[in-house]
Amino acid sequence: MRLIISREHLLKGLTVAGKAVGSKASFPILMNFKLTLDEKGLTVLGGNNELTISTLIPYMIEDKEIIRNTKHGSTLIGSKILTEIIRRIECDEVSITVVDDTIVKIEGGKSSFQLNSMKPEEYPEIDLEQTGVVFDIDSRELSKLVEQTSFAASAKEQRPILMAVNLSAVDGKLVATATDSARLARKEIDLEDEIEFSANVPAKTLLEITRMFESGGKVTTAVSDKKILFSFDSTLVSSRLINGEYPNTKNIIPKTFNYFLEVNSAQLVAAMERASLLSQERENVVKLTMTSSTLEVASRSAQIGSANETLSTFQFNGDILEISFNSDYVISAIKALKTEDVTIAFIGEMKPFVVKSDKDPSIVQLVTPVRTY
Amino acid sequence: MRLIISREHLLKGLTVAGKAVGSKASFPILMNFKLTLDEKGLTVLGGNNELTISTLIPYMIEDKEIIRNTKHGSTLIGSKILTEIIRRIECDEVSITVVDDTIVKIEGGKSSFQLNSMKPEEYPEIDLEQTGVVFDIDSRELSKLVEQTSFAASAKEQRPILMAVNLSAVDGKLVATATDSARLARKEIDLEDEIEFSANVPAKTLLEITRMFESGGKVTTAVSDKKILFSFDSTLVSSRLINGEYPNTKNIIPKTFNYFLEVNSAQLVAAMERASLLSQERENVVKLTMTSSTLEVASRSAQIGSANETLSTFQFNGDILEISFNSDYVISAIKALKTEDVTIAFIGEMKPFVVKSDKDPSIVQLVTPVRTY
């Protein structure tokens, strides 16, 4: 393999594929990039056990030559050292030459590097085929779907299935569900295609992937038994799926409520953030006390002291209600809604309650209260 | 104690004094601020085992009333919780009321907090008297003196004395010296007063202190056997000193040299930074090879590969010279000089060399080479 390539475009490719290369991979071979030059251009592939990213740098972009003086081939080079060199080297074009199976030469400006390399055959086989259910979706809509739900997935490894966002397609809708069993977030968007599937995608990985959709436009998504594959721009991103059946959460969200609180999102968040300063050792539990004329947020810690916040602009229909909960859950639910006001609908002080907004009926969030103190 | 105080000014005072309050103090009592209201204003005092900061918020600043409705007194409150509350509370003025020896009430806007507090007598006695040798110095000059030397102090606790910057005054000069025994930085500035002292100030603490000199102007410095005390604006900062005699480094810097390299600072730093990417596991060792017509920076790692950098603009008088060193040491020496070009003066390949600049003769830096590979 031999090529001269625009430093800027190479660095961009390395940065994209580098998002899949962790500092500690379980297999040392995964600390490398696989570089392949063929008739399409230079493909940079990086991966870890969960996520694989493959991005293509073409020979020409518009009328500009990006890659020249080439000989097809493939090699493995340490991802971190290659990225750092290309980031710091001072020149417009970089020359890459595979000297033999063990050495790659990188040259540019007044710098010259000989990097130890490995044979491309040593890299594991990666399936990046578009198999299974294939559909197109607007990248911004998909990003928002994931951002508004993935935070509710579990961070704990006891029940791996709860570390996933469940994506399911049915009846012309794509539904994302995430729950850590104490709270749940669900959002749906319309699909153009009549398709059906259900896939459990690791929540953190899915969020990382959707954050890569910079340029807007369509993403082609392919869901099979083993993987979910996203294609956009010149990049393919594949995540493994989590095996097992996602818990049935369809009927978990109550339909009728006894109390409704309507309140400004930012004001309630600020009051809960202040109050929870006093209960950081108690899972940020705060108590909301509502009557038709008063709204209070309170917290208490034997060690530190107590906090009391009042809000003046709100609407509450119903008698007095006192309910305690982890304020982090309600704060992230409100922030995910991204609306000026929110409605919190309650059944009673020990029943799960719903955080929602009339402005965006596509999303609903459920939070379980904690026993009051 | 009782007062109503401008939130903005209180927050500024807490932030200044908070720099001395660590997250893990060896004595839990030091996690508190000591607040004292007397005829001068509100004094906020925070400290750890090494550093104490006391800052005064006066009743009036120019024509504006900062503190009102007062009753003198003193209390201890948790520094972190108080700072977070004052940062987040939404109001222009905050009311602070000591209810009794165990409770302080903080109120503002629609928020109300009751914080557990302690009796002020439980806080250790802190000596903030201006004793010993007292002199005035320009705060910017002192900051620069410390910034240009403190990085060379040792980070290792084996020889505590080397974790200090030695400040000494003699013959109308203030001299700062720092060394970790493999490199040394020394700088001197003129003093107005004819004074004499020698003090070993913990380097990290000293750097933190000089970074607090925001507003320029004079700093009054008082050096005694036990502490160094800086007074500026409405703030007193005291650091403990490290006991023991600082190593005699007066005659360590050679006066005659056999080789001189003159080179652009930024170009040499960039070349060394790139080359050292290959020797991060070998203490960033690089080899400089100089002849009258070539200047090369090279490095090698059995695991990763090798790097070779050439520089074209430089002046070297002398025969060929090869010398290897920890590039971090030379990079930080060059960066501390802050000059466009540097001169590196060598005696021979196994002798310490000097990094300096004609533009700033007040500072000199010595680096010990390592054995070539």
A2-122 and A259-367: identical CATH topology: yes
Question: Which pLDDT score, from 0 to 100, does residue B38 have?
Answer: 97
- How deeply is A151 buried, as exposed, middle or buried, from its count of CB atoms within 10 A (0-12, 13-18, 19+)? buried
How far is residue A373 CA from its own chain's centroid? 35
Contact between chains at A111 and B271 (C-beta distance less than 8 A)? yes
Contact between chains at A114 and B306 (C-beta distance less than 8 A)? yes
What residues in B contact A312, CB-CB < 8 Å? 110
Residue B142: pLDDT band by 50, 70, 90 thresholds?
very high
Q: Are A276 and A311 in contact (CB under 8 A)?
A: no
Domain extents in chain A: 2-122, 133-240, 259-367
Residue B204: enclosing H or E segment and its boundaries? helix B203-210
CATH number listed for the domain at residues B136-240: 3.10.150.10
Question: Which pLDDT score, from 0 to 100, does residue B280 have?
Answer: 82
Q: Per-residue pLDDT for B315 more than 80?
A: yes
CA dist., res. A354 & res. A192, Å (int): 29
CA dist., res. B58 & res. B236, Å (int): 14
Ramachandran class of A205: left when φ > 0, alpha when ψ lies in -120 to 50, beta otherwise: alpha
Ramachandran class of A318: left when φ > 0, alpha when ψ lies in -120 to 50, beta otherwise: left
ipTM reported for the complex, 2 dp: 0.89
**For residue A369, what are its two tokens?**
């209260």
Q: How far lies A277's CA from each of A284, B84, B111, B113, B207, in Å?
A: 7, 8, 12, 10, 31
Region B124-152: mean pLDDT is: 96
Contact between chains at A110 and B312 (C-beta distance less than 8 A)? yes
B79-83, B191-195, B274-278, B288-292: segment of lowest average pLDDT = B191-195
Question: Which pLDDT score, from 0 to 100, does residue A250 have?
Answer: 86
For chain A, percent helix, then strand, then coil, each to nearest 5? 20, 45, 35
Q: Which among A270, A271, A277 has CB closest to B81? A: A277
Residue B271: enclosing H or E segment and its boundaries? helix B265-276
Q: Per-residue pLDDT for B281 more than 90?
A: no
What residues in B contact A111, CB-CB < 8 Å? 271, 274, 307-309
CA dist., res. B139 & res. B145, Å (int): 10
The rounded percent of chain B whose pLDDT value lies above 70 is 99
Question: Which pLDDT score, from 0 to 100, does residue B126 have?
Answer: 93
What residues in A contact B103, CB-CB < 8 Å? 305
Q: Which residues of A touch B (CB under 8 A)?
A: 78, 81, 84-85, 88-90, 103, 110-116, 270-271, 273-274, 277-278, 303-312
What residues in A contact B274, CB-CB < 8 Å? 85, 88-89, 111
Number of H helices, E strands in chain B: 6, 28
Question: Which pLDDT score, from 0 to 100, does residue A216 have?
Answer: 84
The tens digit of pLDDT for each residue in B98-125 reads: 999 899 999 999 999 999 999 999 999 9
Give B279-345 as a DSSP string. GGGGTTEEEEEE-SS-EEEEEEETTTEEEEEEE-SEEEESS-EEEEEEHHHHHHHHHHH--SEEEEE
CATH architecture of B259-367: Roll (3.10)
Q: Are B278 and B306 in contact (CB under 8 A)?
A: yes
Region B313-340: mean pLDDT is: 95
Please check whether the domain covering A133-240 is classified as CATH 3.10.150.10.
yes
Q: Are A279 and A268 in contact (CB under 8 A)?
A: no
Q: Are B367 and B181 in contact (CB under 8 A)?
A: no
Residues of chain A with pLDDT under 50: none
Contact between chains at A88 and B304 (C-beta distance less than 8 A)? no
Which homologous superfamily does the CATH classification assign to the domain defined by B2-122? Answer: DNA Polymerase III, subunit A, domain 2 (3.10.150.10)
How far is residue B244 CA from its own chain's centroid? 21
Check residue A90 and report its DSSP letter. -
The rounded percent of chain B whose pLDDT value lies above 90 is 91
Q: Per-residue pLDDT for B372 more than 80?
A: no
Q: Per-residue pLDDT for B40 more than 90?
A: yes
Contact between chains at B307 and A111 (C-beta distance less than 8 A)? yes
Q: Which among A85, A111, A303 has CB closest to B116? A: A303
The mean pLDDT value of chain A amounts to 95
Give A220-240 as a DSSP string. EEEE-SSEEEEEETTEEEEEE
The mean pLDDT value of chain B amounts to 95
Amino acid present at A175 = V
Could you tell me which chain A residue has the CA closest to the CA of B269?
A88
A5-9, A86-90, B157-161, B162-166: segment of lowest average pLDDT = B157-161
Check residue A304 and report its DSSP letter. T
Residues written for chain A:
373
Give B71-139 as a DSSP string. E-EEEEEEHHHHHHHHHH--SSEEEEEEEETTEEEEEETTEEEEEEEE-GGGSPP------SEEEEEEH
- How deeply is B170 buried, as exposed, middle or buried, from its count of CB atoms within 10 A (0-12, 13-18, 19+)? middle
Contact between chains at A308 and B113 (C-beta distance less than 8 A)? yes
Could you tell me which chain B residue has the CA closest to the CA of A273?
B88
